[in-house]
Structure 1
């Protein structure tokens, strides 16, 4: 209980400051940074699974309410380009893992699974079944997510991409209770269905898909109060930050530098893809960068929702990446691991 209290006390002032200076996704980044500090200084608390399940549902319905008809059109018209980008990111991340494995920095095939750009939970399960060191895989996956979220937030802030939404709305502003209840009902039912059907990232993708369809047809007016979104962002940040435990960091000392280098290489490659998107399609750089960023989907969704970007384009490419890498990522990782 004392650790949770410390986490809350430290998070409130930092998050309030980031929100006040209009840092995109400040409600996420404040708790994430504090979670990292607590975790690296001996914190043993973890976000209960049911809370993370609810967070995924809330974020999925939030994005569903922002989706416009252009998302479907964007994917239908540009699917060859999206496929090429996703496969390029998978190739680059696999290459980084293969090089670390061949260099003998990490034991066995750990680097192959840890370098996979996305579907972290799937990669952790596959890594354990394949005999890799799950602790190091978790370290590499969490480190990449933290890097991507931090860099994207900094680019959005200093690049002048603050959200154009009316920030005069208070956290505890009024909301439509009936639409809120319907939104939660759809999200919870679809979230449980997604998990029950064993859909990859089903707790996020199932509510997102159904909520988007209902919102686009006008059957559902997505309503989520600001206080619930703020809590969800904070819980997501804590969930990522608390993953950086002292035990994992101690275990990963030998892999720290190679992991950072591989993440930087992957981010640079994603940035190059973003430049190509800007040149080929004429979209704004921040939209291109968020769309090509290598995970995680939930944190990128929060940053996109907090920034002045084309969220339909970002979510179309990010969803395609998650689905494709979940389906073929483990196969590619296993294939490369056998030959590494």
Structure 2
């Protein structure tokens, strides 16, 4: 009975996620394996009075598969081509952070939450790292910060595939050999073997970034890159989609109405802003809209990389842009915020 008590909530999430995938597939919605599982789990948990559980290890498996798929596209030549965009990436991130802080001042005035809480809730970084940062600081409302970042993740992952799916522009992604099931298994296995190294090096999102780096290193070997089998990518999308769908808990909806509305509006504002920036990038660089939008969108590196592989954008460009933002926030912005909060 005890084993059934543990397994039943996981099976429930899996079946609900599959039902969501089926509905989204029938409706011909983009990325049914991710969006179907995400919205299926997200909505049903408020309707069904049964326990839900989705181990983080399942999400990590999905991240490793996506990281491996993107790593197959990485080469030193591609990184050298992207170096011409570094100044633009730096200016972009400074601008986004300034806009986020300006937005935080408005949220602070409207919702009456503390300014440090509003700033931490508004910075477009990875949810896990920023929540951990909030927990380490004094006088920050972790519940509010978690809600804002969860809403942003769900908004970005939920809306952006629909936006990019309506664009018919071609992309500049690298074409590689036909999928090979056994070779895919071998590369995924290698990716899992090196993940402990990424953890020891304290890489951001090690389950995703370590296999990406492995792919870059393998490009110096005689091994030919092979496209990831769709079955593996579907597994990755379902495991990550179900995990994101479970992020928003019912207790989060008990926050003040002004906070709930501000969380949704701030996410939509950031998406709108990055949409405009993406259009500018299309004009300035030899980049299709899908790639430019996913590169600038206020989502996590892992989630944007996953969407890029699904909609056939240039996942390497997207990953580099998102990685640079993550490093900029963690190396520059968070230390500044920590210094500022200690002076409050």
TM-score, normalization: structure 1?
0.86
Q: Out of 96-105 and 199-208, give the one that drifted further.
A: 96-105
The SS at the match of 2:311 is: coil
Query: Which residue of structure 2 lines up, in the alignment, with residue 291 of structure 1?
Result: 295
Q: Return 5+ residue gaps in structure 2 as ranges.
A: 1-6
Structure 1 residue 232: deviation in Å? 1.6
Query: Which residue of structure 2 lines up, in the alignment, with residue 38 of structure 1?
Result: 44
The SS at the match of 2:248 is: coil
Structure 1 residue 47: deviation in Å? 2.4
Deviation per CA, 1:226-248, whole angstroms, max 9, x where unpaired? 33321221110111110111012
Among 38, 57, 60, the alignment partner of 1:53 is: 60
When residues 43 and 287 of structure 1 are mapped into structure 2, their CA distance, relative to the original with a 3 A threshold, is: farther
More relative contact order, 1 or 2 (CA 8 Å, 6+ apart): 1
Query: Which residue of structure 2 lines up, in the alignment, with residue 15 of structure 1?
Result: 21
When residues 330 and 61 of structure 1 are mapped into structure 2, their CA distance, relative to the original with a 3 A threshold, is: same
- Aligned partners of 1:84 and 1:44: how far apart in 2? 46
Deviation per CA, 1:54-109, whole angstroms, max 9, x where unpaired? 22211110111233555312322221111111222222223222332244532563
Contact 2:219 2:225 in 1 (8 A): yes
Among 97, 109, 123, the alignment partner of 2:104 is: 97
Query: Which residue of structure 2 lines up, in the alignment, with residue 117 of structure 1?
Result: 124
| Residue 273 in structure 1 maps to residue 281 in structure 2 | no
Structure 1 residue 337: deviation in Å? 4.5
Contact 2:121 2:146 in 1 (8 A): yes
Contact 2:179 2:227 in 1 (8 A): no
Query: Which residue of structure 1 lines up, in the alignment, with residue 3 of structure 2?
Result: none
Deviation per CA, 1:31-57, whole angstroms, max 9, x where unpaired? 110121134446653422322222221
RMSD (Å), alpha carbons = 2.9
Query: Which residue of structure 2 lines up, in the alignment, with residue 255 of structure 1?
Result: 259
| Residue 136 in structure 1 maps to residue 144 in structure 2 | yes
Among 231, 236, 252, the alignment partner of 2:235 is: 231
- Aligned partners of 1:272 and 1:339: how far apart in 2? 36
- Aligned partners of 1:286 and 1:70: how far apart in 2? 22
The SS at the match of 1:232 is: helix
TM-score, normalization: structure 2?
0.85
| Residue 88 in structure 1 maps to residue 95 in structure 2 | yes
When residues 222 and 190 of structure 1 are mapped into structure 2, their CA distance, relative to the original with a 3 A threshold, is: farther
| Residue 26 in structure 1 maps to residue 32 in structure 2 | yes
Contact 1:183 1:220 in 2 (8 A): no
Deviation per CA, 1:142-178, whole angstroms, max 9, x where unpaired? 110111112211112223469999xxxxxxx98442x
Contact 2:118 2:145 in 1 (8 A): yes
Query: Which residue of structure 1 lines up, in the alignment, with residue 323 of structure 2?
Result: 319
Q: Out of 231-240 and 65-74, give the one that drifted further.
A: 65-74
Contact 1:39 1:243 in 2 (8 A): no
- Aligned partners of 2:309 and 2:220: how far apart in 1? 18
The SS at the match of 1:63 is: helix
Among 187, 191, 204, the alignment partner of 2:191 is: 187
Matches of residues 154-169 of structure 1 in structure 2 within 5 Å?
Answer: 154-160=162-168
- Aligned partners of 2:179 and 2:26: how far apart in 1? 21
Deviation per CA, 1:257-283, whole angstroms, max 9, x where unpaired? 111222122122212211221222253
- Aligned partners of 1:40 and 1:252: how far apart in 2? 19
Count of aligned positions: 332
Contact 1:64 1:215 in 2 (8 A): no
